[in-house]
């Protein structure tokens, strides 16, 4: 049976490799490039760079939710509810985070363009 929790888990599991690739390869290169200009990065870019170390949460919580849902009534309802709520929140963040990463990577370029135009 397809439930909303399973759909969100599958969305998280599909988006996880995209975020992992960005966190491991694209973000460090971008950070090194932008910090070489000795300018402070925009706060959104800094937040995205700092959150790159928590990529494992995007895969752990959906797998935990799938594991707990398989146990059924043996797991307390409150525990399942909390894990499912966190899974929904991560699903929403995963959907929002991909465009946010793209925007955060372009913000320093926009800032450099503004400085050059002055």
Residue closest to 105 by CA, chosen among 49, 38, 37: 49
Report the chain's C-alpha Rg in angstroms: 18
What is the domain extent for residue 62?
Answer: 4-117
Domain count for the chain = 1
Specify whether the CB–CB gap between 13 and 62 falls below 8 A: yes
Q: What is the pTM of this model?
A: 0.56
In the DSSP assignment, the letter for residue 36 is T
pLDDT digits (tens, 9 = 90+) for 84-102: 788 778 777 777 777 777 7
pLDDT at position 72 is 62
What is the spatial distance between Cα 49 and Cα 72, in angstroms, rounded to a whole number? 38
What is the spatial distance between Cα 40 and Cα 6, in angstroms, rounded to a whole number? 41
Question: Stretch 34-56: mean pLDDT, rounded?
Answer: 76
């Amino acid at each position: 049976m397809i439930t909303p929790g399973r759909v969100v888990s599958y969305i998280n599991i599909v988006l996880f490799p995209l975020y992992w690739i960005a966190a491991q390869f694209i973000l460090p290169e971008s950070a090194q490039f932008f910090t070489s200009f000795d300018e402070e990065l925009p706060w959104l870019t800094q937040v995205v760079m700092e959150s790159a170390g928590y990529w494992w949460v995007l895969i752990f919580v959906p797998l935990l939710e799938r594991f707990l849902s398989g146990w059924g009534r043996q797991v307390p309802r409150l525990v399942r509810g909390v894990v499912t709520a966190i899974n929904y929140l991560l699903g929403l963040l995963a959907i929002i985070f991909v465009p946010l990463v793209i925007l955060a990577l372009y913000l320093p370029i926009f800032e450099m363009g503004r400085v050059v135009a002055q």
